[in-house]
Amino acid sequence: MVVSTPRASLAIFDLAVRQQQSAGFHSGKDSNSMRRQLSPTTALLISLSLVLGSAVGMTTSSLAQTPGPTDARTEVAAAGESAPAAAVPAARASSVSSPPSSPRNPAAPDLATADPAAHDLGAQLAIEKELAAMKLRIEQLQQELAEMKGHAAGTQPAASNPASGATAPAVATAFSAAPANAGLGGWLAQPSTSPSSGRTRAASAASAALPGQAADAAPAKKEKIAPFSDWDWTWLNGNPRNKDTAFDSKFFTPEIRADVTYNYDFNKPVDNSMGGSSELFRSNEIQLEQLGLGGDFHYDNVRARFMTQFGMYSTATIRNDPSYAKGQWNIADADRYLAEAYGGYHLDALNGINIDAGIFMSYIGLFSYYNFDNWAYQPSYVSSNTPWFFEGVRIQVFPNPHLKIEPWIINGWQSYGSSNSRKGLGGQIKWTPRSWVNVISNNYGLGHDDLYIPNRARIHTDNSIEIKYFDRPGQTLDKMAFSFTGDLGCEFGPSVVKNGVYQQGVGCITSKKDANSVGGDYFKAGINPKQSFVGYMFYNRAWFKKDTYGLTLGGGQINNPGRYLVLLPPINGETASSAAINAPYFTGNPSDPFKAWDLSVTYDYMPKQWLTFRWEYDYRHASVPYWSGKGGVTPPGSGGVPYTNNGYPQFFACNNGNSSMQLLETAAAAACGAQGSSVWFPDLRKDENLIDIDIMVKF
């Protein structure tokens, strides 16, 4: 029986098309989000249809009739040709390679003059020869497809998944090397890219590697560069130095941080308690600073991030926020174990727009909240005394790959709640015009952030520049860079009496007249004193031996009359919320003076990109007694228990461990004397010398 050539070959071809469609090779809307690539099975089926069509067609013509001289030559030649172009859909024609035709041997016998038996034998030999040639061609196609598949896979990043606050899988390596936030990590947060959108440079490179795309696809749009991804930013202060992503997946990019420190204060406080820092808390003890577990969720342009803060951060950071004392529901406990927690959405506009809501890092003062990312462990006051986080809404707009504009609508100045009714507004502008320079400006205003003083507003500007001025990767000294940060701010508001309570006014300039002002310790009646913040810090860092070693020298200075940004010493368990009622030992009244400066030397050993060993020396000086001395900052315990808070930090304590329950020193002396005791005072010094040894890990 003679087989119909078109029916058999088209049936096999139809099977090939259905097989490829079931594997995800669709047209229309779906094809825009998938790379076109014939599977090996589909290629074999299509090739088989061509072979069968050619072979059976020649058999049919040779057995059905005895050909004339011209017909015989035509049929044998046609056996080596591919199926007609019309038999292959236009959308796939450019992806199918036609087998080469076999040249006719001029010395072969003329089939037209041969007898039928010889003719049949010649036809069979020709078919077998063509089948052998086609089999060889199929093997070649299989090898080429395997090579193309391997090449396409090779264009994907090693990590092959997202980073920095939800980005497409293909950008993970670029984002972790450049920075993360929103992730990436650091304040170099980039917009996310949906895994289904395919808008990544690595994906487009893989797509370009596939042959046959130009004929059947629309002209490719110029791919956008992910913000801050085209240069290496691992040298920046405040940015993680990881060049790779340790773990990844299409949906979630995990992040793990561990920070363990040993601090030794040469003042040797008897209660091991240190103050004046948002990084160093206990002397002569090994302490877990932070255990961070979290990461970035990213799918279909939806993004989310969380990071825990188990360890000292979970208590030391919270105590600097007074807002939780207002109202109910104990938001301090609700949020204390979360350093970051937000969700949001990415818009494919400009070079990307992120809209996030929740708890996010501020990066005011340049340094990162996470010590692994920084050039030094204990930053100067401009960083340590300004916000580490905000809670509210941020919108990250990337007009081009080297510019970020990020407005904030937040509850207040490093606060989980609002100390008063007015919310804070602010924002960040980040610009990287060259691979060796980073410019960042943070600004804040409008917020009423002093608990129980609703008439007082705050404004602040924080501006930094970082420059890498030496880069010789092959040398022993391979890199050098510096950072400079300058801050200005103030509080302002009139003197008023509300609900029978007098509230002293303050201003941004010296001796602002106000008839309602009653005066204070350092200013006359009739004027509102200056309440301002001026500060700067400078750090210079050098890297050695392929960034295995690092050496940083730095320091800074501040002047903060009114002390509204000075970190309160933890005297008798003092916190920002208790000090808002009264701070008997270290006051924060308008015009109270505070000037300070510091110096530090930091040496890092970084054997792996995930691990840092750090040794640091700090010297810090204040114009008034401020640092913990040998006698410590904890009163004697009641009933003979040594060095225990009595639970009333807003009142003067007695040397017998009891509270005087008095706000004024004279009244406290009388109350303690009635108990056969005297008023207790903390041991505060103007100078502090310390060393810290740290182990920091980040995956």
Angle in degrees, CA 614, 618, 624, rounded to 5: 150
**In 10 A of CB 244, how many CB atoms?**
16
The one-letter amino acid code at 660 reads S
- Look at the block and give the residue holding tokens 């100067």: 380
634 phi and psi angles, rounded to 5 deg: -115, 130
- Reference 560, options 430, 353, 337, 384; nearest CA is 384
Q: CB–CB of 377/261 below 8 Å?
A: yes
For the chain, what's the residue count? 699
- Look at the block and give the residue holding tokens 């629309």: 218
**Three-state secondary-structure class, residue 331:** helix
pLDDT digits (tens, 9 = 90+) for 531-583: 999 999 999 999 999 999 999 999 999 999 999 999 999 999 999 999 988 89
Q: Is the pLDDT of residue 57 over 50?
A: no
Pairing of strands 627-628, 512-513: unpaired
The answer for residues whose C-beta is within 8 angstroms of residue 77's C-beta and 6 or more apart is: 101, 104
pLDDT at 132: 77
Give the mean model confidence (pLDDT) for residues 353-382. 95
pLDDT at 149: 54
Q: Is the pLDDT of residue 72 over 70?
A: no
The one-letter amino acid code at 265 reads D
**Residue range 252-633+686-698, CATH number:** 2.40.160.10
What are the boundaries of each domain within the chain? Answer: 5-154, 252-633+686-698, 635-681
The one-letter amino acid code at 499 reads N
Pairing of strands 611-622, 687-698: antiparallel
Q: How confident is the model at residue 143 (pLDDT cuts 50, 70, 90)?
A: confident
Distance from C-alpha of 72 to C-alpha of 263, rounded to nearest angstrom? 96
pLDDT digits (tens, 9 = 90+) for 274-319: 999 999 999 999 999 999 999 999 999 999 999 999 999 999 999 9
pLDDT digits (tens, 9 = 90+) for 658-668: 999 999 999 99
Taking only Cα atoms into account, the Rg of the chain, rounded to an integer number of angstroms, comes to 37
The answer for residues whose C-beta is within 8 angstroms of residue 84's C-beta and 6 or more apart is: none
Long-range CB pairs of 281-286 (<8 Å, 24+ gap) are 281/312, 281/316, 282/312, 283/628, 283/690, 286/260, 286/261, 286/262
What tokens were used for 404? 């970020």
The span from the first CA to the last CA of the chain, in angstroms, equals 69
Distance from C-alpha of 10 to C-alpha of 408, rounded to nearest angstrom? 62
With 0-12 / 13-18 / 19 or more C-beta atoms within 10 angstroms meaning exposed / middle / buried, residue 266 is exposed
Q: How confident is the model at residue 114 (pLDDT cuts 50, 70, 90)?
A: very low
> Is the model more confident about 149 or about 229?
229
The answer for residues whose C-beta is within 8 angstroms of residue 217's C-beta and 6 or more apart is: 36
Give the mean model confidence (pLDDT) for residues 58-63. 40
The answer for residues whose C-beta is within 8 angstroms of residue 1's C-beta and 6 or more apart is: none
What tokens were used for 280? 């160093």
Distance from C-alpha of 264 to C-alpha of 286, rounded to nearest angstrom? 10
